[in-house]
Structure 1
Amino acid sequence: MKHRRTAATVVTALALGVALTACTSIASSGSGEAAPAKTPTANQSKAIADAEAAAGIPPKPDATTQAKYIQALTRIDAEIVNGKPDKAVSRGRNQCSMIHNFPKDKAKQVDSAELRFISPNHPEGFGKAKAAQIVEAVHTHLCPKF
């Protein structure tokens, strides 16, 4: 359990570090305009990817995998995606950490999905039955190795 908390802490710290680096790299150019923010270095990107992997967050899916995942969610309920496929993918990747960290606790996975996957018309989630289907779609398409 301590290892999982450490991995989550590392992911958070790295994300904050990248955000702070981006914020502090916006400097005044003397003309009153902000200079563009620097993009993360290859080392920072690799460190983030490594920390995410340790926490059970898979890399972003390729276009084909993403399309199949979005299609699976839409079959459950079109409002899960709600016209925001990138947000659905982000939520799914984060849900993978629950599948990774609690592989035998389906109830915890479903509870997490119910809290994570919300929409304007479903601010409390889509219910246990649909949340269980969401977990299955996430597991099948985004993190099948867990």
Structure 2
Amino acid sequence: MRIRTATAATAILAAALVGCTDTDDSSSSTAKPPTISSTASALSPEQRASIREAAGLPPTPNPADWAAYIKVLTGLDPDIVHGKEDKAISRGIDTCSAIKRYPDDTAKQAEQAGRRFTSPDHPEGRDQATAKRILAAAHTYICPTY
């Protein structure tokens, strides 16, 4: 699984690097920094889905699942989301990668979820009980097939 994840990450990085162009060949201090061309962003939805799948990441949840997931997390403790829904979703997607990586090790999955969901009031993450609830919410609303 790590090889597949590393391969996917390498493919993404390579696509981004291939797309880099230097807009000015001079070495003066007024030279513009390199920019990423549309090569990396020109991936089809199917290609992006394939890369995400190879990395063990589910797709972004649909609006209904997104809202339900945020509602569950906020119900557990508003500080879990702390006004940053996109960050909570991203962390939930990452939590799903742990579910896929350690399918028979719920303790490891919860440990990683606990460390992943930090906030200003919980800079060290969450306790085991809260982490297990976060894990269950991610499994239910973001990656139910994992």
Deviates more, 1:32-41 or 1:79-88: 32-41
The question of whether the paired residues in 2 share the 8 Å contact of 1:57 and 1:93 is answered with yes
> How far off its partner does 1:38 sit?
3.2
Cα separation, 2, equivalents of 1:50 and 1:26:
29
TM-score under structure 1 length normalisation:
0.82
Determine if the alignment matches structure 1 residue 12 to structure 2 residue 9: yes
Gaps of 5+ in 1: none
The question of whether the paired residues in 2 share the 8 Å contact of 1:69 and 1:138 is answered with yes
Structure 1 residues 75 and 18 mapped into 2: Cα distance closer, same or farther (>3 Å)? farther
Cα separation, 1, equivalents of 2:72 and 2:98:
19
Secondary structure of the residue that 2:120 maps to in structure 1? coil
Find the counterpart in structure 2 of residue 38 from structure 1: 37
The code of the aligned residue for 2:108 comes to K
Gaps of 5+ in 2: 25-29
Higher helix content, 1 or 2: 1
Moved over 6 A (4+): 31-36
TM-score under structure 2 length normalisation:
0.82
Find the counterpart in structure 1 of residue 59 from structure 2: 59
Find the counterpart in structure 1 of residue 68 from structure 2: 68
